[in-house]
Each structure stands twice: as structure tokens, then as C-alpha cells.
């Protein structure tokens, strides 16, 4: 995928899913309440990536699946990029 196409997207990235990553767990809680828009702009993020939450029982008792990340694309702009074969080409290295 060409990076320049992705640079136009509103992106949110999380690196850590540890108990002290309050920004990550706040977002997980926000989304689990079916509030998927940004709390600041009321718009959807085009791309969100980071750890996969295994369970949400409050910050101190929540867990992620160790060693796994997820990426999700949302909205029409992200879908147009993903559907465009000129922008989404992938080379398989053997």
C-alpha cells in the first residue's frame, strides 16, 4: 500500500496495551459503549490500530491478547483507498 495514500487519513495508533496505558483503555471503553466517533471531533477515525483487547473489566483488570495487533479501516475515504488497485498493491516476499 502506498504510504502517501494513507497519509490523508485520520489515524489513531496505540503501541501499548498495558494497564497503565490509560489512553488505550479509555478508547476501548469508549468504543465498547458503541461510541465509535472521536470524543473530540465527533468524526470517525479512518484507521485505528493497536493491541487487541481480550477483556475489559476496568483498567486494573483488563487484558490484551499478547503478541497480536489489529488494524481497522472506517469510512468512505479509507474504503476508496482499499478498493483502488493502483493504491493497494502488495508484494509477497518469498
Cβ 79 vs Cβ 73: under 8 Å: yes
User: In this predicted structure, what is the pLDDT of residue 43?
Assistant: 74
Q: Is the pLDDT of residue 18 over 80?
A: yes
Q: What does the block give as the cell for 78? A: 479509507
Per-residue confidence band for 38, with pLDDT thresholds at 50, 70 and 90? low
Question: Which is more confidently placed, 43 or 47?
Answer: 47
Q: What does the block give as the cell for 82? A: 482499499
Q: Is the pLDDT of residue 36 over 90?
A: no
Average pLDDT, the chain: 80
Sketch the domain layout of the chain as residue ranges.
3-83
Q: What is the pTM of this model?
A: 0.70
Write the CB contacts of 39 (distance below 8 Å, at least 6 apart in sequence). 30
Amino acid at each position: 500500500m502506498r504510504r502517501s495514500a494513507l497519509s490523508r487519513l485520520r489515524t489513531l495508533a496505540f503501541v501499548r496495551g498495558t494497564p497503565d496505558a490509560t489512553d488505550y483503555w479509555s478508547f476501548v471503553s469508549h468504543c465498547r459503549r458503541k461510541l465509535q466517533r472521536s470524543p473530540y471531533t465527533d468524526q470517525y477515525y479512518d484507521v485505528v490500530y493497536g493491541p487487541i483487547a481480550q477483556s475489559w473489566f476496568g483498567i486494573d483488570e483488563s487484558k490484551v491478547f499478547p503478541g497480536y495487533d489489529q488494524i481497522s479501516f472506517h469510512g468512505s475515504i479509507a474504503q476508496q483507498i482499499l478498493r483502488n488497485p493502483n493504491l493497494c498493491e502488495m508484494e509477497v516476499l518469498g
